[in-house]
Copies of this chain bind each other. A is one copy, B any other.
């Protein structure tokens, strides 16, 4: 049994990595053979392939199709110890982090890859009434809540209540919002269309609210316009220039208009996980740690921040986007920096982001791809999107499973994971049940 109570005498240094997302995995992979003793800490036991999380939330994929146990990834790396736990404090002076229920773990190098959280723009009470999509647990809650809306509507008597239960509002017109809106539309209008007897699932109302003037602001206008036309064709009500004023138990007020709805998906702003303050580091507007060109934290040259928790400007002066490729490339870069220090070789140059383009899915046979000179839309973009996501999934089993599920869905319009296993009702759902009960002793059917 490896005794980690003391440092391994063979190891040149201990590197503690917090977070097993794209960024954290890239650091650990990059440090292979560097002679470091690595401790990788995550709150969950799995790495999650976030780009497909919306498909778990909309019942197209199973959680295990897009997540891999972190231990399994590094089973052959004897230099890597994985700990499931929550880091509660970081002490850069004594070079230790504290893990809840475990204790102190000391480090020579620390890499923060803790990612982002949803930001409510100062309206934290909205979080009681809206779902977010960050973890597998979130996705299962959303799945249960979406499917339960149709179940409850089928059993309900009051027409206004039914209309409200079958109204879905997505806040935020970025890639996640567009993907969720498209996927919910397909779920309601195709998959569930024949399953109910009392309601018509196909009449479900899906509203996508975006505060800015355009959907998909990061994409070229021609592609964003195409996405909007596709969503129109899928009967999604797209409302641009429509900031959300209020979210409460009854629904959403957006652009001055109240939309009664039973399910609200918050796909708007994100913020860095709040660690900058505890390090005394300068923060960007979204709370990201303003890092040096080598991704180190100023005044802490043995501490690095990468991925969504870090903030760095690109060559155009704008902050690098919070996307997987930035996280992975920064992770690989930091691994090279640490390896060079351990080997006593010259430090590599500053981090330079190599932009690989961007993709967004809209729905069946329709996506957009911005690859710089080449711009694709429709079926070619959809095929590229599918191929890229299969390629970047971790593990052959997951690739096969996702491929099987996609192929099945394409031919049958079915969704293989329509299970309500978690039913964590937001407040307004409970009110709905209450309303139903309060309007009498129930209804004879």
Contacts and interface: CB of A to CB of B under 8 A. Distances in A.
Interface of A: 1-5, 39, 44-46, 62-65, 67, 69, 71-72, 75-76, 78, 80-85, 96, 98-99, 101-106, 136-137, 140, 147-148, 151-152, 154-157, 192, 194-200, 397-398, 400-401, 404-405, 408, 412, 414, 416-422, 433, 436-437, 441-445
A86 to B, nearest CB: 11
A4 B198 contact: yes
B397 A69 contact: no
Nearest to A61: B64
A231 to B, nearest CB: 26
B421 A397 contact: no
Given A62-B64, A75-B194, 4 more contacts: A1-B197, A102-B155, A105-B445, A137-B421
A197 B4 contact: yes
Contact of A194 (B76, B140, B148, B195): B76
Copies of this chain, whole number? 2
A444 B72 contact: no
A69 B103 contact: no
Contacts of A64: 62, 416-419
Contact of A408 (B65, B136, B397, B433): B397
A62 B404 CA distance: 14
Given A75-B195, A198-B1, A436-B101, A419 B106 contact: no
A402 to B, nearest CB: 11
29 contacts: A1-B199, A4-B197, A4-B445, A5-B445, A39-B445, A45-B148, A45-B420, A62-B63, A62-B65, A64-B416, A69-B418, A71-B195, A72-B414, A76-B194, A78-B197, A80-B197, A84-B151, A96-B444, A99-B155, A101-B155, A101-B433, A101-B437, A102-B436, A102-B443, A106-B444, A397-B414, A401-B401, A401-B405, A404-B404
B397 A84 contact: no
A275 to B, nearest CB: 20
A37 to B, nearest CB: 10
Contacts of A420: 44-46, 84
Contacts of A84: 148, 151, 154-155, 420
A408 B444 CA distance: 50
A443 B197 CA distance: 60
A411 B398 CA distance: 15
B198 A104 contact: no
A166 to B, nearest CB: 12
A81 to B, nearest CB: 5
Q: Which of A4, A102, A200, A414 has the most CB of B within 10 A?
A: A102
A416 B443 contact: no
A152 B83 CA distance: 9
A116 B196 CA distance: 28
A444 B1 contact: no
Q: List the 4 closest pairs (A to B, CB-CB), nearest first.
A: A103-B442, A64-B417, A71-B195, A62-B62
A45 B418 contact: yes
A400 B406 CA distance: 13
Nearest to A193: B75
Nearest to A162: B1
Given A64-B419, A103-B442, A106-B444, A198 B2 contact: yes
Contacts of A417: 62-64
Contacts of A67: 419
A45 B194 contact: no
A80 B154 CA distance: 13
B196 A71 contact: yes
Nearest to A101: B433
Contacts of A414: 72, 397
